[in-house]
Amino acid sequence: MKTRLLNVWSVLKLPLVAILVGFVVGAFCIMLAGSNPLTAYAALLKGSLASLPSFGETLYKVTPILLTGLAAAIGFRCGLFNIGGEGQYVVAAIATVGVAWSFQGLPHFILVPILLITGALVGGVWGGIAGILKAKRGINEVITTIMLNWTALYLSNYLVRTLLNPSRLLDKLPSGHTVAVPEAARLMKLKVIIPAFGYSSAHTGIFIAIGVAVLMWFILFKTTLGYEIRAVGFNPTASEYGGISSAKNTFLAMFISGGLAGLAGAIQIMGLVYMVNQSPELPGYGFTGLCVALVGLSHPLGCIPAALLFGILDNGSRQMQLAGIPKEINAIISAVILVFVAGALLLKYINVYFEKKRGAGKPRFKEVREV
């Protein structure tokens, strides 16, 4: 039992220390800006956790980044850097609007699953394109997913201006956004169930996201699919030897990863924004997802607190601004946390690499202890 606790600690100390350092560095920056760090952090917590409504605001920020975080995590587990969460999110969002509009006659409890599946499928296909290119042609997924991000954005902008524009569908003046999804397509707000959530826009999407995190944990660690994905991620040649197709699992991992990012897009539309705006830039949830996955150590359950952390930093910044602290401080804190987690992970890989070079096959006592 004691060793088990030690093990848990040895895994968790990395992100925890990074977070601590992040806040310490943040504190220095706040002092440089001439404010009191304690007031600042009190404001941060007050703005994000202190009351049910403010906590609700945090929750709705957590929802999409938890899903894109899971998307990035599953990619990492298969040795893939899916930087295309953005594009997968965007195509899924626009598809959700389109499908919701087309099936607006359907009742809520049928339309919602249809839309969730649509979002996941469309995002999955978008990720799957990069997956196939990687599996069949060995084209680096970083390049293809970045390219697909912009393809997705401009495709979405085109659809916003044309097919899904209120001018086409509703006989209104042209506008910079699509039509809104029908009432039946919208997720329930938490304040409807628990009135204490007050002004918050939190919606039931958070439960879907948490459910998906648990599901992904199960898939990664309890199924043959997860076993194979992880095997390919760690050692493609040994996987091949064990009869595991690296191409198939690369595709599947990219498909699932894209599907999760797509789900984030669908849920964001259904729970919060109800429409897609024409936009000159990518929404950013995919990138934040990469941070969530890194801090969550690519563990689906680790992504939950990691997403919460980034949600708190995001939501709490308003209250901090009211207390006179620039909101950039929060960006600094997230950046420092990331640098430390990523840096430590990098060091670990470098270490493992050199240990391998130094003495392959020699007992590595240190590791025995850590496991």
Partner 1 sequence: MKGRWKKDLPKVLEMKNITKVFPGVVANDKVNFDLEKGEIHVLLGENGAGKTTLMNILYGLYQATSGEIYFHGEKVDIKGPNDAINLGIGMVHQHFMLVENFTVTENIVLGSEPSKANGLYLDMETARNTVKEVSDNFGLKVDPNALIQDISVGLSQRVEILKTLHKGAEVLILDEPTAVLTPQEIDELGVILKNLTQEGKSIILITHKLKEVLSMSDRVTVIRRGKIVDTLKTKDTNIDQLAEMMVGRSVKLTSDKEDKTPGDVILFIENLVVKDTRKYDAVKSISFDVKAGEIFAVAGVDGNGQKELVEALTGLTKTVSGKVSLCGKDITGNKPKKVLEAGVGHIPEDRHKRGLILQNTLAENLILGYHYCPPFARKGVMNYAKINEHARTLISEYDVRTPNEYVTAGSLSGGNQQKAIIAREFYKDPVLLIASQPTRGLDVGAIEFVHNRLIEQRDNNKAVLLVSLELDEVMNLADRIAVIYQGEIMGIVEGKDATERQLGLMMAGASMEEAIEGGKADNENKIA
Residues that bind partner 1 (CB under 8 A): 222-225, 227-228, 230-231, 234-235, 237-245, 352, 356-369, 371
* C-alpha span between 286 and 133 (Å, rounded): 20
Which residue lies nearer to partner 1 by CB, 156 or 246?
246
- For partner 1, give the closer residue by CB, 113 or 242: 242
Among 285, 277, 234, 270, CA closest to 87: 285
Residue with tokens 């009190």, as numbered in its chain:
42
Report in angstroms the alpha-carbon separations of 180 from 3, 32, 88, 171. 54, 45, 20, 14
DSSP assignment letter at 1: -
Ramachandran class of 243: left when φ > 0, alpha when ψ lies in -120 to 50, beta otherwise: left
In whole angstroms, the minimum distance from the beta carbon of 356 to partner 1 comes to: 7
E strands, 51-167, are none
59 versus 74: smaller Cβ distance to partner 1: 74
Identify the CA nearest to 72 among candidates 127, 11, 18: 127
118 or 239: whose CB is closer to partner 1?
239
Single-letter residue type at 53: P
Cβ closer to partner 1: 134 or 230? 230
Tell me the C-alpha distance between 121 and 266, whole Å: 10
Q: How far is the CB of 66 from partner 1 (least distance, A)?
A: 24
Residue placing its CB nearer to partner 1 in the complex, 16 or 352: 352
CB of 263 to partner 1, least distance (A): 21
Q: Which two tokens stand for residue 135?
A: 């599996």
Distance CA(95)–CA(107), nearest Å, equals 19
Work out the angle at residue 65's Cα, subtended by the Cα atoms of residues 59 and 67, and round it to the nearest 5 degrees: 100
Q: Report the residue number, 154 or 234, with the smaller CB distance to partner 1.
A: 234
Shortest CB 224 distance to partner 1, Å = 5
**Minimum CB–partner distance for residue 210 and partner 1 (Å):** 21
Q: Which is nearer to partner 1, 142 or 247 (CB)?
A: 247
Minimum distance from CB of 227 to partner 1 (Å)?
Answer: 5
Least gap, CB of 368 to partner 1 (angstroms)? 5
Q: How far is CA 223 from CA 8, 130, 217, 218, 250, in A?
A: 23, 24, 10, 7, 16
Tell me the backbone φ, ψ of residue 177, rounded to 5 degrees: -145, 170
Structure tokens that stand for 354 in this block: 């050199």
d(CA 181, CA 98) in angstroms, rounded, equals: 8
Q: What CA–CA distance (Å, rounded) separates 16 from 8?
A: 12
Q: Is 177 helix (H, G, I), strand (E, B) or coil?
A: strand
**Strand pairing partners for 150?**
none
CB of 211 vs partner 1, minimal distance in Å: 18
Least separation in angstroms between residue 350's CB and partner 1 is 14
When the beta carbons of 13 and 356 are compared against partner 1, the nearer one is 356
